[in-house]
Amino acid sequence: MEALASPIIDAVTIVKDYGAARALHGVSLQVGAGEFVALVGPSGCGKTTLLKILAGFEDLTGGSLSIRGDDMAGVPAAARPTRMVFQKLALFPHKTVADNIAFPLKLQKVARVEIEARVRAMIDLMHLKPEYLDRYPAQLSGGEQQRVALARALVSKPSVLLLDEPMSALDAKLKKSLQAELKKLHREIGTSFVLVTHDLEEAMMLADRICVMRSGRVIQIGTPTDIYYRPANSFVAGFIGETNFLPVRAEPAGNGAMTVTSPLATGAPARLAADHVSPSLTPNGTALLVRPETIRFLDATGENGVWSMTGMVEEYFIKGSSTQYRVRVTGLDAPVVMDLAGSIMLPAKVGETVRIGFDPAAAFLLSE
């Protein structure tokens, strides 16, 4: 990964211990001005710890952190140019919406007239109704509380907005509309956002770059396209959703390209171009990442450039716009998952023996 010219956040090999347990093993992350970065990983991966370190709620055990070029060692949360939106929002129950939003400005001793103007500007930005200003947080709906929390975090114009899974408690529909608003908001105000989420789909929708973490380590940092199409390893690939890994033998074919063969699939050895090969490929345990949407049913006759396998339909799921099939292939631990465009006619029944195939040159080679 190339270094950013002038990052807002520059975290270098951050180590964090809780007693004897090491939560972060030398994590480095840069966030550029106006960039939207998502920290993603299963629970316990250290993403929330990293966010709390950025916010100043936790000290470092090792490494260094600078924000806007200033070293943050010993700088308390209050003095940092970051603001946080908490997972459970942490709106003050005893303050009105207006007082909640105005709180950071009041602490900065901003003049009352200006506070009022900026609070009004915030509720316009957040599409909150002006009559909410005198209400208490408990009188608002979950989505409205969310916006108040965002308004409170943004009112003092921080350089970085930190979001700790703020949408995890909302129902699916509300979540979708708030995600869209959050993305629009980010584009409008140009503040750097750092979002912690366990939902990679959310991260792909919103973020410019995604940092995938596991067990206190960064596994991969990249754009959503990188993460989806060029995952560093099978952990990242599997984290996105259901996918298939076909064990293969790989040999260099010059210029970073590789030639792969598989005993489990019928077809000529395939040549994968350099951009279809993981940069962190290790010689042992190579596998071909085959996305479910790239696999289809084949006729009895063979096709050129296609690898084919024979298996038995184990189950299918009608998902509306698509239909998912699971096909059991001898020699593979997991059934092959394939997503077909939805159709009123089902191409195969459970128990039926089918031939399936895919284009190996379009797949991606990685390590397990």
Binding site for another protein (CB under 8 A): 55-57, 74, 76-79, 82-84, 86-88, 90-94, 96, 103-104, 107-108, 135-136, 138-139, 152-153, 156
Q: Are 262 and 347 in contact (CB under 8 A)?
A: no
- Sequence-distant (6+) residues with CB within 8 A of 222 are 1, 209, 210, 230
CB closer to another protein out of 106 and 249: 106
Q: How far is the CB of 325 from another protein (least distance, A)?
A: 36
Least distance from another protein to the Cβ atom of residue 57, Å = 6
* Shortest Cβ 52–another protein spacing (Å): 9
Q: Which is nearer to another protein, 108 or 225 (CB)?
A: 108
Report in angstroms how near the CB of residue 63 gets to another protein at its nearest: 18
CA distance 135 to 98: 8
How near is the Cβ of 218 to another protein at its closest, in Å? 25
Nearer to another protein, 54 or 185 (CB): 54
**Between residues 35 and 58, which has the closer beta carbon with respect to another protein?**
58
Beta carbon of residue 98, minimum distance to another protein (angstroms, whole number): 13
Shortest reach from residue 83's CB to another protein, in Å: 6
State the nearest-atom distance from the C-beta of 190 to another protein, in Å.
Answer: 21
Query: Burial level of 318, CB count in 10 A (0-12/13-18/19+)?
Result: exposed
Q: Which is nearer to another protein, 146 or 220 (CB)?
A: 146
Q: Torsion angle of alpha carbons 151, 153, 159, 160, nearest 10°? A: -110
Instruction: Determine the Cα–Cα distance for residues 281 and 364; give it in Å rounded to an integer.
Output: 11
Contact 151, 185 (CB under 8 A): no
Nearest-5° angle of CA 204, CA 175, CA 37? 30
CB of 87 to another protein, least distance (A): 8
CA distance 286 to 289: 10
Nearer to another protein, 137 or 222 (CB): 137
Q: In what order do the strands lie in the sheet with 258-261?
A: 249-252, 258-261, 270-272
Q: Which is nearer to another protein, 160 or 356 (CB)?
A: 160
Tell me which residue of 368, 200, 348 sits closest to 284, measured CA to CA.
368
User: If you write DSSP's letter for every residue of 47-99 in order, what string do you get?
Assistant: HHHHHHHHHTSS--SEEEEEETTEE-TT--GGGSSEEEEBTTB---TTS-HHH
C-beta closer to another protein: residue 108 or 304 = 108
Q: Which is nearer to another protein, 82 or 323 (CB)?
A: 82
| Strand pairing class (258-261; 270-272) | antiparallel
Rounded Cα–Cα distance for residues 340 and 321 (Å): 9
**Cβ partners under 8 Å of residue 20, min gap 6:** none
